[in-house]
Structure 1
Amino acid sequence: MNTLLKSVTIVNGSTKNLHLKKRDILIKNGVIEAIETSIEPTGKIKVIDIENLHVSIGWFDSGVSFGEPGYEERETIENGLLTAAKSGFTDIILNTSSYPTPDSSSDIVYLKNAAKDQLTSLYPLGNLTVKGDGEALAELYDMKNAGALGFYDYKHPISNANLFKIALQYAQNFEGLVFSFPMDKSISGKGIVNEGVISTKLGLKGIPALAEELQIARDLFILEYTGGKLFIPTISTANSVKLIAEAKKKGLEVYCSVTAHNLSITDDELQEFDTQFKVMPPLRTSLDIKALKKGLENGTIDLVTSDHTPLNIELKHVEFDNADYGSIGLESAFGLVNELFGTEETIALLTKGRSIFGIETPKLEVGEIANLTLFTPDEAYEFSEKHIYSSSKNSIALGRNMKGKVIGTIANNQLVVNQ
């Protein structure tokens, strides 16, 4: 794969002498061969010359779900990884949301083999407990050796505090990363949206912010007792940010993420009972969003995730109470975040975090393997179904104003271009 990128603006904070400079970049056989002011194409080579084209190291998403195995009609691994590539992501962490869920080394090997030879690299998680039922620990050590980068019962909180304590203690023997979904089910009960003015007005059962915060407080107390590494995915409330900030000040090894839609959409959108806005964690308030943004800016929140969750149409086209939680998000993540933070900060957010999982961070330098995302940062547009590459179309972002478009990606000696 030989490609010449003409007059691209490099957005790469790790290489200060190239940051925001316009250069030509020559890639041969998947390796960056030259970065110069001007390079003339020679031989058989694909030239990409697009006005205002920008390039960064490839983007990373720590929380993606597909359907395979079990729900291939929602999203296969192959099409999911192509969707990720077209959305700018060259590395993704795969959630344990399939059926059956991966709780053995053979399951991890299957997922890795299914993702071979794709542009976007897939890194699987394994279940923390057998079948994700919260009763007994799964084969954590064996899954780690097979390639699992962490252990997560997807969207299912670990209610048994002693089991969670043992998991943190055991995982320390092999540098295992334990995930804990922040939701106390005894508090959330049958709630389906954020508890507040909007839920009361609409007559929908609410999930108090306390349900998230109480679980986080419990987990952090246990982490302080046991030591180990904890990842708290998709936090959504102001007090959650505060709790994690205090834990980090104590020196606890805790990491967390926030979804792109929880940064940009409030529960005000629920007033039309549109099931596309039914997500977990639920959409919160503008005050929560303000705190989440601040948490990203000061480093309390480590990662922004798309929380990509493809679902069959019949799981969304029902009454609000009966609809499933979730939205696809790979295609809209850049546009949502870029609208909020601007190009440089957005790229910093979308490229950080690999080191948490032991994944090598790419470099945009001569002699390095090309792992790049191509984008234009300023184009304004309304997100519609034509911008969706996923097999499922359940997007919370439909009809929203976006800023910036992904042009393509280069990784694993492959090129995907959207236009």
Structure 2
Amino acid sequence: MDNLLIKSARIIFPNTPFHGKELDVLLNKGVITKIAKQIERGKDHLDVFDAKGQYLVPGFFDMNVNFGEPGLETKEDILSGSAAALAGGVTGVAVQPNTHPPVHSRSEVALIVNRSAPLPIDVHPIGAISKQREGRELAELYDMKLAGAVAFCDGDRPLQQGGLMSRALLYSKGFGGLIISSPEDVSVAAGGKMNEGPTSTYLGMKGNPNLAEALMVARDLYLAEYNDAPIHFTTISTAESVALIRNAKASGIKVTCDVAAHHLVMTDELIAGFDSNYKVSPPLRTQADVSALLEGLNDGTIDAIVSQHTPHEVEYKNVEYQIAADGVIGLQTLLPLVLEAGLTIDQLVDKLALGPRRVLGLPLPEFKEQAPANFTLLDTGKKWRFDTETNRSKSINSPLMGSELKGKVTMVVNKRQIINTQ
């Protein structure tokens, strides 16, 4: 499809003269050559895509994704992860350093950058804050930044040493680096398997309290303020965290945050069936927390929504809930979950496409003639089944597997490549 004419798409590109209008878009080898109310076909070899009733939006960017490469390719490799991302309308990802070896030096960063270069998705490595993600000694942050790392985080191992976090904030500030905090005080969480509350008491299961997250958010906000450095909190899940970050933003602290899509629609009550596919970290919380997260999205406290895509082989999830690994795959279900949460199309674009790139300091997709296309076509009313036939990940650990979902990505264009995902 070198030459493609997209007919009658509703354009949702804020800060452009085309925003909110129904227009035709002509592409030549992935470059936007014409945007108009009506474009005639003209050439016989021109492919036409009828996008009537669909939205054309900037390509989504997911800033919390786990691909297994290097070392854990049986969970997910860059190729399969990218396929899942494209099926979910995601044209860019920031991948966590939860690999083996971890992404803690220039060589692992360069491997990911080079392996993903030919793919129609922008893959940006997140480097580890500490060597081996052990939380003891700073990794070579500046070297990784030069090699292509967009931020630094110890992934699913929250950084427990306050002194190390303070040094990381101060050091990265000097070269424009961004530290990402996975906020959990593990001594307070104390191995809890689900949210601490009435449901955990009813099930007789050890709980992980909201306090474990809120304490770490409070600590890292103080450290960011002390060092006058930016900080980003990933996958916040509690009402307390939203309130702390809201107040910090109002006081001028350089803080941003994101929330996982599943935390916007799922609660701890779903764990009553002991389905290990609902076991995530941080755990699913209460309806009160869900309401606070949605309020945080509406008032701008929360900057982005992520999938927290965490693939696992079946032997890590098809076991008793207590010993199952944390995490779900989420790249392909990102859009349906956000729609279920009740976000408008403009909110969706801001939190899935623009907000994440702003946080990471990446260029926003352009929508104008002669610009390389980076956009997603989506049908918010289309229903489809998420199952082993439509799943593009190597893993199947999702509570939505086998479900009918509403909201389908129909086409993705990026890096001069066009992918029909219908």
Q: TM-score range by the shorter chain?
A: over 0.9
Aligned to 1:289: 290
Aligned to 1:418: 421
* Per-residue deviation, 1:278: 0.2
SS at match of 2:262: coil
Check whether the contact 1:87–1:408 (CA below 8 A) recurs between aligned residues: no
Match of 1:343 among 345, 348, 355: 345
Check whether the contact 1:77–1:114 (CA below 8 A) recurs between aligned residues: yes
* Per-residue deviation, 1:181: 0.9
Aligned to 1:374: 377
Q: Are residues 383 and 286 of structure 1, via their aligned partners in 2, closer, same or farther at CA, if it must alter by over 3 Å?
A: farther
Report Cα offsets for 1:102-156 as digits up to 9, x if no partner.
1111111111001011111101110000000001000001101111011110111
Check whether the contact 2:13–2:58 (CA below 8 A) recurs between aligned residues: yes
SS at match of 1:330: coil
Aligned to 1:138: 139
In the alignment, does 2:332 pair up with 1:315? no
Match of 2:398 among 395, 398, 401: 395
User: Which moves more between the two structures, 379-388 or 314-323?
Assistant: 379-388
User: Which moves more between the two structures, 264-273 or 387-396?
Assistant: 387-396
Corresponding letter in the other structure for 2:393? S
In the alignment, does 2:226 pair up with 1:225? yes
C-alpha distance in structure 2 between counterparts of 1:222 and 1:237, whole Å:
20
C-alpha distance in structure 1 between counterparts of 2:382 and 2:347, whole Å:
17
Q: If the length of structure 2 is used for normalisation, what is the TM-score?
A: 0.96
C-alpha distance in structure 2 between counterparts of 1:284 and 1:381, whole Å:
28
Corresponding letter in the other structure for 2:30? G
C-alpha distance in structure 2 between counterparts of 1:290 and 1:352, whole Å:
23
SS at match of 1:211: helix
Q: Are residues 399 and 294 of structure 1, via their aligned partners in 2, closer, same or farther at CA, if it must alter by over 3 Å?
A: farther
Aligned to 1:36: 36
* Per-residue deviation, 1:224: 1.2
Check whether the contact 2:412–2:421 (CA below 8 A) recurs between aligned residues: no
Question: What does residue range 28-177 of structure 1 map to in structure 2 within 5 Å?
Answer: 28-41=28-41, 42-177=43-178
Q: Are residues 403 and 247 of structure 1, via their aligned partners in 2, closer, same or farther at CA, if it must alter by over 3 Å?
A: same
Aligned to 2:364: 361
C-alpha distance in structure 1 between counterparts of 2:236 and 2:291, whole Å:
13
- Give the CA RMSD over aligned residues: 1.4
* Per-residue deviation, 1:348: 2.5
Corresponding letter in the other structure for 2:244? L
Aligned to 2:14: 13
* Per-residue deviation, 1:51: 4.2
* Per-residue deviation, 1:166: 0.9
Check whether the contact 2:7–2:52 (CA below 8 A) recurs between aligned residues: no
SS at match of 1:373: strand
Report Cα offsets for 1:296-353 as digits up to 9, x if no partner.
1111111100101111000000011110000000000001101221333222221122
Q: Are residues 236 and 401 of structure 1, via their aligned partners in 2, closer, same or farther at CA, if it must alter by over 3 Å?
A: farther
* Per-residue deviation, 1:57: 1.4
C-alpha distance in structure 2 between counterparts of 1:46 and 1:396, whole Å:
38
SS at match of 1:93: strand
Q: If the length of structure 1 is used for normalisation, what is the TM-score?
A: 0.97
SS at match of 1:279: coil
C-alpha distance in structure 1 between counterparts of 2:165 and 2:44, whole Å:
59
Check whether the contact 1:328–1:394 (CA below 8 A) recurs between aligned residues: yes
Check whether the contact 1:82–1:119 (CA below 8 A) recurs between aligned residues: no
User: Which moves more between the two structures, 240-249 or 386-395?
Assistant: 386-395
Q: Percent identity?
A: 39
> Structure 1: which 5+ residue stretches go unaligned?
none
C-alpha distance in structure 2 between counterparts of 1:106 and 1:124, whole Å:
11
C-alpha distance in structure 2 between counterparts of 1:79 and 1:245, whole Å:
37
* Per-residue deviation, 1:50: 4.3
Question: What does residue range 154-303 of structure 1 map to in structure 2 within 5 Å?
Answer: 154-303=155-304
SS at match of 1:397: coil
C-alpha distance in structure 2 between counterparts of 1:104 and 1:381, whole Å:
41
Check whether the contact 1:154–1:181 (CA below 8 A) recurs between aligned residues: yes
* Per-residue deviation, 1:22: 1.4
SS at match of 2:332: helix
SS at match of 1:84: helix
C-alpha distance in structure 1 between counterparts of 2:416 and 2:385, whole Å:
32
Corresponding letter in the other structure for 1:347? V
> Structure 2: which 5+ residue stretches go unaligned?
none
